[in-house]
Amino acid sequence: MVKRIGSMAWRVEVGADGQLFSLGVRADTGREYEVLLGTVDSTPIVSDLLGEMARVHRALPPRVFAEGAGPHHPRSVPLQPLATRIEDHRGQPVLTLDFGGTVLKIQIDPASLQKDLAKYQGS
């Protein structure tokens, strides 16, 4: 799979056995970088990256995306995990999304989630 935005592009390849995948990135300068990841290594990298993004954006005003950009882009589609479950992490409920080699854990607020689901079901 290759994604391209302007002169930036990245490529993701997953081995048939699911044990190794590579991420290739081409920067604006034309340089290409390739990162090989084992499935065991992928979860901390993804979690650390998203955690750091959330930490930085927490102090900033909410991001607004133009029509047709970011999550509003026509090719921006929701991911379908292989399995979804709720787990306990130090007394807090955690939404666990299993994508095979990567497991993403997201801390949730049950009351907020129920309120948002009620709004969704009511529309």
pTM check: above 0.75? no
Question: Tens digits of per-residue pLDDT, 5-44?
Answer: 555 667 778 788 877 778 788 777 778 888 777 776 767 8
Determine which helix (DSSP H) or strand (DSSP E) holds 84, and give its type and residue range: strand 83-89
How does pLDDT run across 38-91, given as a tens digit for each residue?
776 767 878 888 888 889 889 999 888 889 888 888 888 888 999 999 999 999
DSSP-derived secondary structure letter, 75: T
Q: What is the DSSP string of 6-46?
A: TTEEEEEEE-TTSSEEEEEEE-TTS-EEEEEEEHHHHHHHH
